[in-house]
């Protein structure tokens, strides 16, 4: 996360994070796509019946638990119950499986947000921001492994951290760009240093679900109970939106 903040803070962008959300990705490869799996030419192996989503979910959880270097494709395929040869057939190698697995989750969030904008098109900007924050909380509750993987890779500069920034971070920021930009122009959003705001929102939305044992130990609460998730979402919306919104 420190690397994300430093990287974005040094980027040639506007004075505030809310304006930064409208800045285009710096590479042409930053657009997300649903075409995450490209099959190799030729016939698949005889046992090529495979649930790609299940395989990616298994991969994400293992990558989050053991890190990229500590994870093997053998372990992933064994846990997923598929032949190891299918990794090569569908993804080519471990790195491409890693990319496809986390990009699938980012695409899901983007798709849900775009759908929410259509459903709630009559809401004013601040109310739509509340919808987005609530959706982010539910996303992290569903996929607590996602922020763990991002945090692992953002600890230092690498090809994978660059890939995450260009293919996940910038597109996700751009997604809400116009929404925040309009509210800033209307004077509805406070000016807060750009290097603080991503950590505030992402930290609030994800940390509760990244530490389930701690929460259970301290408060005897299951972080993944539906009622708990909803109450936590209410709290994050209240604190984030009314902390950032001018009243």
pLDDT tens digits, one per residue of 11-59: 433 333 333 333 333 343 433 333 445 555 555 554 455 788 999 999 9
Whole-angstrom distance, CA of residue 196 vs CA of residue 5: 8
CATH topology of domain 2-244: Tetracycline Repressor; domain 2 (1.10.357)
Cβ count within 10 A of residue 216: 12
- Report CA-CA distances (Å) from 190 to 16, 170, 183: 10, 22, 10
pLDDT band at 121 (very low <50, low <70, confident <90, very high): confident
Contacts of 48 (CB under 8 A, 6+ apart): 86, 89
Residue 189 confidence (pLDDT): 81
The dihedral over CA atoms of 223, 227, 230, 234, expressed in degrees to the nearest 10, equals: -100
Residue with the larger pLDDT of the pair 12 and 119: 119
To the nearest whole number, what is the mean pLDDT of the chain? 81
The per-residue pLDDT for 155 is 85
């Amino acid at each position: 996360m420190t690397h994300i903040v430093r990287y974005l803070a040094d980027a040639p962008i506007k004075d505030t994070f809310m304006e930064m959300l409208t800045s285009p990705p710096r590479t042409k490869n930053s657009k997300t796509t649903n075409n995450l799996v490209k099959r190799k030419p030729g016939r698949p192996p005889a046992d090529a019946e495979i649930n790609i989503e299940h395989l990616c979910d298994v991969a994400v959880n293992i990558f989050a638990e053991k890190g990229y270097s500590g994870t093997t494709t053998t372990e992933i395929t064994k846990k997923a119950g598929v032949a190891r040869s299918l990794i090569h057939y569908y993804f080519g190698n471990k790195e491409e499986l890693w990319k496809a697995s986390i990009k699938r989750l980012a695409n899901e969030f983007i798709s849900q947000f775009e759908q929410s904008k259509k459903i709630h098109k009559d809401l004013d900007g601040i109310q739509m921001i509340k919808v987005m924050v609530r959706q982010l909380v539910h996303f992290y509750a569903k996929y607590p492994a996602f922020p763990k993987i991002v945090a692992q890779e953002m600890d230092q500069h690498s090809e994978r951290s660059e890939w995450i920034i260009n293919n996940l971070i910038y597109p996700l920021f751009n997604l809400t760009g116009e929404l925040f930009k309009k509210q800033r122009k209307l004077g509805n959003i406070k000016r807060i240093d750009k290097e603080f705001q991503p950590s505030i929102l992402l930290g609030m939305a994800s940390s509760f679900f990244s530490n389930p044992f701690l929460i259970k130990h301290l408060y005897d609460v299951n972080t993944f109970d539906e009622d708990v998730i909803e109450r936590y979402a209410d709290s994050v919306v209240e604190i984030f939106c009314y902390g950032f919104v001018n009243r």
